[in-house]
Chain A
Amino acid sequence: MKKIQAFLFSQKIAPYVFILPFIVSLSFFWIYPMYSTINMSFHNIGNGYSEYIGLANYEKLLGDKVFHIAVRNSVIYTIFTLIILIPIPMLCAFLLNSKSVVGKRIYKSIIYLPALVSVVVAGILFRYMFSEMDSGLMNQILQFFGLESKQWLKNWGTGMFALLLLATWRWTGVNTLYFEAGLSSIDEVLYESAKVDGASAWQRFWHITLPLLKPTRIYVTTISIYAGLAMFLESFMIYGSNNSPKNIGLTIVGYLYRRGIEKNDLGYASAVGLVLLIVALSISMVYLLSSGMFKKEDK
């Protein structure tokens, strides 16, 4: 017993013992499923059988029009969330950080509250809001301005609008908090010395705040890229199911769910999942490389 203890606690072995729990859970919940998915994507899987078919699933994906629709929807959704959910929260964080705002803490709590509401509940509420009947909230607003009711969730444009509204409502608070944390790490001294040098508020923002927010910006962008591409629940709840008219609300993960669970075709669904991973990974890597995250810091 003592020998084993001495061995485990020795200088060489102890570090590995400490990280062992992490390695175990990583392999269990990440490495094995990853390997399993890659394996399954090369098979055709049904009840009690699994036959190897090589690249057939991927070839099918290339010609799958519905998959292309899903990719298009996910990518456009991601681009829009990046356009909306990075500048606006940054602005909010900046405003919330300034000295002249009274009751900052209330605003911070209120802006963060939507993130605490379950996506499922929020999706159902937004579905009723965007109902095509005259009694729907959005249609009532339109009628107030003398316009006709719209069929919000039957057209691509208005459906995307509903999704983006939900996303904005939900995630602005979270991103604001990230940026706020980033902002608070910027030393006050820099601003004061800039003021002394005669810099305007805009110049201070452009030359001090933005560059120093870079790590936060990169972090938020990277997680937003992945969150946008992997979005599923918002669309599922707003359209009431995975099946939206003409697939206008279908996302990559939605298509994965449809194939894997609804149609019991796990091999094909694994291929979809893998393609999502590769796409998200490549976009993120390109972005991170181009923003210089991997350069060694100059000492």
Chain B
Amino acid sequence: MGANFMRLPKNVFSYFVILLMAILVVGCSNSSSGNGENAEEVESEVTTVGPEDGAKMDMWLFVDLHQKFYSEMLNKWNEANPDKQIQIKFTVYPYADMHTKLTLAVQSGEGIPDLADVEIGQFPNYLDGEVPWLALNSYVEPYKADLVTSRLDAYEKDGNYYGVPTHVGATVMYYNTEILEKYGIDYTQIKTWDDFTAAGEKLKEASNGEVYMTSVDTGGADWLTLTMSEYGESWVEDPENANVKLDSLNNMLTMQQGWLESGIAEVTPGGQIDTEQGYATVAKGEVAAFPKAIWYMSRFTDYMPEMSGKFAIAPAPVFEEGQKRSNGAGGTGTVVYKDSENAELAAEFMAWAKLTEEGGEQIWNILGFDPVNTKVWTNQDITHNQENEYVKYFVNNPFDTLLEIQDEVNLIKTVPITTTINEVFNLTTLNEVLENGADVKQALEDAQAEVDFEQE
């Protein structure tokens, strides 16, 4: 044969183009693996913990920090139980990917992991029809007396507990004391939303409109679930007939509209405060206060270290005295696949890891969450440990507030229709009301129509 397999380009321009492409390829590949904990860049990370001869299990997670917690507890378990050794292969996926994978696995019946962390919002997806998870009632029983039961109920169906809760997720108010003191506002005097609004007016006057008292969400329902808890209402009182035309929602949204009109509040950049834009807003000192769950503390230490020593935690204001001041927000339930080889052992381990006092201590120390086991809350050695990064970060001790609101943490249950309700509010209703100033009553009627359509 002998013909030239590849002729070199004779044209100078072709060399130029090849050079250009080479530069682009090399240049682009270096910049993407750069710095920053951008959640979108996280790929699945696999860590195996435990001895080789232990019962082998695999677990799917969607937050890297949770894996550190489970690894810590697994090591403790293996030390204390030489006859029940466990080895777990942890895989951390991005949030949406993990749930999609799990949904597909459950649908097809193949590749379901032995253990998985399921976020509370996604939990109902797996409870429809035949539930693939082990009922955990007997494993939870030994610890039940010390637990916040509303959190167990969050993952319950037909009397069976299917998920082991991680935290209570009590909503509290975060106050930027540096800003408030500068303008002469004492946050400890704020007990009602009227007090809050008045403080907001004062702040606006004093700072010449530069600082907002708070920011309102168009992309999250935390303000709404808080207000429902305060009034003792729930949009899924009857899970088959959701009702969003509630007084609590009407009052909250009308109040928020008023804040926006008088310049006391702005719409949260990024839709809600647990986003990159949200962290930037807080770190810039743009807002003086906002309500969020206790687990938001780790966002402070992770993304806003410069705000250390400036923020205080207090119970949220209410509309009328006597209302409950908190609501359980967010959550992760760990599930055990019922047909897995070592299902019982997995359930025993997981209940021990998350529901005991020992587990609760680590949930506080490693994850910065308020553990479901309330015995931890009164254990001063744990809660006032001066080495704990959260104790160091905040002006006051988080557990002081938690103990104050201990019996006031309500929970709006997540049921199948909740996904639709969240969708309707986050995409349409909140934008209409808060960005476009639509009539609140009408917007809630429209939302109800959308929800009814789903429920028929």
Q: Taking beta carbons and an 8 Å cutoff, which residues of A are in contact with B? A: 46-49, 63-66, 103, 105-106, 109, 113, 124, 132-133, 154, 241, 243-247, 261-264, 266
Contact = CB atoms under 8 A, between A and B. Distances in A.
22 contacts: A47-B106, A47-B126, A47-B129, A47-B130, A47-B132, A48-B109, A48-B129, A66-B450, A105-B17, A109-B17, A109-B20, A113-B21, A113-B24, A132-B269, A133-B277, A241-B96, A246-B431, A247-B428, A261-B104, A264-B103, A264-B128, A266-B107
A105 B129 contact: no
Interface stretch (B238-246, B253-261, B366-374, B419-427): B419-427
A47 B133 CA distance: 12
A246 B453 contact: no
A47 B269 contact: no
Contacts of B150: none
Contacts of B450: 65-66
A261 B453 contact: no
Interface string B124-167: 01101111100000000000000000000000000000000000
A49 B277 contact: no
Most A C-beta atoms less than 10 A away, residue of B107, B109, B453: B107
A133 B450 CA distance: 32
Q: From DSSP, what is the main secondary structure of chain B's interface residues? A: helix
Given A47-B130, A65-B450, A262-B419, 8 more contacts: A47-B107, A103-B13, A105-B11, A132-B269, A245-B435, A261-B103, A261-B104, A263-B420
Given A106-B17, A246-B427, A261 B100 contact: yes
A247 B427 contact: yes
A215 to B, nearest CB: 29
A175 B346 CA distance: 56
Nearest to B423: A243
A151 to B, nearest CB: 8
B110 interface: no
A246 B125 contact: no
A237 to B, nearest CB: 10
B130 A65 contact: no
B16 interface: yes
Contacts of B129: 46-49
A154 B428 CA distance: 11
A243 B13 contact: no
Contacts of A49: 129-130
Contacts of A246: 427-428, 431-432
B40 interface: yes
Contacts of A66: 450
B218 interface: yes
A263 B424 CA distance: 14
Task: List the 5 shortest-distance A-B pairs measured between CB atoms, nearest first.
Answer: A48-B130, A46-B129, A47-B129, A46-B128, A109-B17
Interface of B: 11, 13-14, 16-17, 20-21, 24, 40, 96, 100, 103-104, 106-107, 109, 125-126, 128-132, 218-219, 269, 277, 419-420, 423, 426-428, 431-432, 435, 450, 453
A245 B40 contact: no
A154 B277 CA distance: 15
Contacts of B419: 262-263
Contacts of B423: 243
Nearest to B449: A65
Contact of B427 (A47, A105, A244, A263): A244
B125 A263 contact: yes
- Most B Cβ at <10 Å: residue of A47, A49, A113, A262: A47
A106 B131 CA distance: 59
A241 B423 CA distance: 12
Nearest to A63: B453
A48 B219 CA distance: 33
Contacts of A106: 13, 16-17
A45 to B, nearest CB: 8
A34 B349 CA distance: 45
Contacts of B130: 47-49
A103 B12 CA distance: 10
Nearest to A237: B40
Given A47-B130, A49-B129, A263-B419, A243 B426 contact: yes
Contacts of A132: 269
Contacts of B219: 245
Contact of B107 (A113, A245, A247, A264): A264
Nearest to B11: A105
A252 B107 CA distance: 23
Contacts of A65: 450, 453
Contacts of B126: 47
Nearest to A120: B40
Contact of B435 (A47, A154, A244, A266): A154
Contacts of B21: 109, 113
A240 B21 CA distance: 28
A244 B17 CA distance: 39
B125 A264 contact: yes
B95 to A, nearest CB: 10
A116 B13 CA distance: 20
A113 B435 CA distance: 39
B199 to A, nearest CB: 28
B453 A64 contact: yes
A245 B96 CA distance: 19
Contacts of A64: 453
Nearest to A108: B17
Contacts of A105: 11, 13-14, 17
A125 to B, nearest CB: 11
A113 B24 CA distance: 10
A47 B131 contact: yes
B358 to A, nearest CB: 35
Contact of A245 (B11, B100, B218): B218
A263 B99 CA distance: 11
Contacts of A261: 100, 103-104
A49 B109 CA distance: 12
Contacts of B11: 105
B45 to A, nearest CB: 20
A124 B41 CA distance: 11
A124 B40 CA distance: 10
A104 B21 CA distance: 16
A47 B432 CA distance: 35
B25 to A, nearest CB: 10
A200 B426 CA distance: 59
Contacts of B218: 245
Q: Max chain B CB contacts within 10 Å: which of A46, A49, A124, A264?
A: A264
A175 to B, nearest CB: 20
